[in-house]
């Protein structure tokens, strides 16, 4: 009996939809870019991946250049890689490995049909004193739609705060307002960074910009993304604030941001809180921020609507973490204070 052996490559028999599924599971853009050099077929299929994760080591402006930072060795290796790739697929050049620190918009132009995109920044944007923790989540369309902020200091803290406006371990009302403004500035800076990406990728349905420290998260759903694109078309782009933050080249998104509209902030506070896991929070504060006149039909929300909405927004922002969820549930039962802030 004679046996015939199939010497063909197994990848050649794998259907394109299955490879697309694998690429979407990989999602990491740096890995996918490397996959393009595997074969001519992979080179053509990778740009069709629609669920992507971009881990950013350092972000520079699309107009900045990092060629001056390249060493002779890197430039030499780059030329070799480029030459080898031309032998495999002369029609499409291999993305330059040394340019991985370009703006997100430049990197993502290599992909054609992005639907779900997650951007991971190298660090949080807030500079806090030791022992202070802030977590926030902001929802955007053409501008801010809502933001939830949770802040506290860990440990005993020494002394307490009988009232929100008092002094003591957490710094009182002034400190909490600073926390809130800082989080809103960080959120609007991340939104600014992604406006170009949103406009270029019309198929995008879900966008998340977070950081490796899990400090904050900006989200844009399908409706918010559509609002952002339409505002550009109408010439109503959210105003840009170009005030320098002194962070220098490489951190351009922190010195450019969309304008935060006039907002209404509902703040809740507990001077001291001990959770079921034994963790202690000093000066725990929950702030729910909404643009003024965001109610149905553009009118103001009723007190009941706001209180009910606060529960959904706060638990939606921190419900996945058991510790933060417990803290939020307790803070939602506390007395609330209303503050309003002009656009900035």
257 or 244: which carries more pLDDT confidence? 257
Is residue 197 predicted with pLDDT exceeding 70? yes
* Residues 33-66 pLDDT 10s: 999 888 888 899 999 999 999 998 765 444 444 4
> How confident is the model at residue 10, as a pLDDT?
66
Confidence of residue 206 (pLDDT cuts 50, 70, 90): very high
**Mean pLDDT in residue range 257-281:** 92
What does the buried/exposed string (b/e) look like for 49-80 if buried means 16 or more CB atoms within 10 Å of the residue's CB? bbbbbbebeebbeeeeeeeeeeeeeeeeebee
Q: How far apart are CA 47 and CA 16, in angstroms?
A: 13
Q: Which residues are within 8 A (CB) of 63 and not within 5 positions of it... i.e. 6 or more apart?
A: none
How does the average pLDDT of the chain come out, rounded?
78
> How confident is the model at residue 137, as a pLDDT?
97
**Taking the CA of residue 273 as centre, how many other CA atoms within 13 Å lie in the half-sphere pointing to its CB?**
28
Q: Structure pTM?
A: 0.75
* Residues 154-164 pLDDT 10s: 876 444 444 44
Is residue 298 predicted with pLDDT exceeding 80? no
> How confident is the model at residue 66, as a pLDDT?
44
What percentage of residues in the chain have a pLDDT greater than 70?
Answer: 69
């Amino acid at each position: 009996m004679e046996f015939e052996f199939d010497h063909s490559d197994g990848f050649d028999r794998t259907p394109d939809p299955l490879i697309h599924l694998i690429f979407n599971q990989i999602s990491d853009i740096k890995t996918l870019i490397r996959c393009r050099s595997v074969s001519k077929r992979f080179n053509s299929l990778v740009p069709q991946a629609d669920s992507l994760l971009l881990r950013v080591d350092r972000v520079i402006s699309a107009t900045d250049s990092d060629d001056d930072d390249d060493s002779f060795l890197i430039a030499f290796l780059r030329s070799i890689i480029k030459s080898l790739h031309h032998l495999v697929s002369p029609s499409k050049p291999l993305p330059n490995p040394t340019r991985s620190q370009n703006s997100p918009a430049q990197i993502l132009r290599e992909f054609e049909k992005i639907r779900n995109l997650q951007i991971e920044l190298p660090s949080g944007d807030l500079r806090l004193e030791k022992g202070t923790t802030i977590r926030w989540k902001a929802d955007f369309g053409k501008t801010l739609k809502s933001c939830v902020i949770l802040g506290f200091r860990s440990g005993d803290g020494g002394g307490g705060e009988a009232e929100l406006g008092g002094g003591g371990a957490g710094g009182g009302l002034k400190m909490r307002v600073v926390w809130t403004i800082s989080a809103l500035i960080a959120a609007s800076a991340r939104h600014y960074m992604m406006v170009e990406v949103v406009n270029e990728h019309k198929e995008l349905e879900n966008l998340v910009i977070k950081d490796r420290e899990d400090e904050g998260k900006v989200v844009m759903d399908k409706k918010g993304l559509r609002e952002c694109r339409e505002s550009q078309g109408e010439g109503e782009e959210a105003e840009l604030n170009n005030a320098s933050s002194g962070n220098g080249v490489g951190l351009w998104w922190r010195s450019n941001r969309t304008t935060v509209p006039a907002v209404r902030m509902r703040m809740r506070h507990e001077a001291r809180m001990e959770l079921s896991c034994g963790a202690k929070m000093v000066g725990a504060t929950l702030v729910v921020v909404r643009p003024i006149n965001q109610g149905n039909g553009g009118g103001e929300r009723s007190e009941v609507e706001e209180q009910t909405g606060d529960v959904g927004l706060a638990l939606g922002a921190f419900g996945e973490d058991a510790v933060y969820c417990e803290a939020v549930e307790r803070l939602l039962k506390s007395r609330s204070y209303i503050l309003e802030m002009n656009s900035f």
